[in-house]
Amino acid sequence: MFTKPEFILSASDAAGFPELNVPEIAVVGRSNVGKSSLINHLTQSRKLARVSSVPGKTQLINFFTLDGQLTLVDLPGYGFAKVPKNIRHKWGDLIASYLENRPRLGLILLLCDSRHPPTNDDVQFAKWAIHYKKNLLIVFTKADKLKPGAVERQCRKHFDLLSEAINDTSIGQITYSIKNAKSRLFLIKEIEKRIK
């Protein structure tokens, strides 16, 4: 299922969303959380998702197909303090319209940096996902940046903070490192389990 990744289209509003009759997963997170790197690692593609050095520059939702059996959606990053308010509001409207209009959306991967506590933006997005009754999995990225003995403890601490902030302990969480092949296999298993 995670082979033969192909770009479908980019959309700036709900009118541009493709109608696809296959399960869908979305990937979202703060700018510079490692979203593009995770997508490229997960799909074994070096250039499927473009890595931008300018947070908030791209305000498009990108749709990809994986072997024709799954749609992978790359949502624009958030947490860009230097971006004008009107752009931030447009981002909010775009994400809300996406969450409202994707009946096949089976899972959202919310990426959080394993080195830092969840941000207010992370909490807000998690609340949105729960409000729209979407299945949510927290993925703590850049686990290789932490000392091996600290990864589980640190991520558990951050996860507990997020769970408490959104008042929901039912969401799942995993750690991820693009330098660890096992991370990819474990995430694939989690995705397959949750979109059935």
Query: What mean pLDDT value characterizes the chain?
Result: 88
pLDDT > 70 in the chain, percent: 92
**DSSP three-state, residue 69:** coil
Nearest to 110 by CA among 73, 71, 137: 137
Fold adopted by 5-193: Rossmann fold (3.40.50)
At 91 the pLDDT is 84
Q: Does pLDDT of 72 surpass 90?
A: yes
| CA pair distance 72, 5, nearest whole angstrom | 9
The pLDDT-based confidence of 53 (bands split at 50, 70, 90) is very low
Q: Does pLDDT of 104 surpass 50?
A: yes
Enter the pTM of the model: 0.91
Contact 42, 91 (CB under 8 A): no
pLDDT > 90 in the chain, percent: 64
Contact 10, 62 (CB under 8 A): yes
Q: Does pLDDT of 175 surpass 60?
A: yes
Q: Does pLDDT of 120 surpass 80?
A: yes
- Give the lowest-confidence range in 16-30, 73-87, 102-116, 139-153: 73-87
Average pLDDT on 147-164 reads: 88
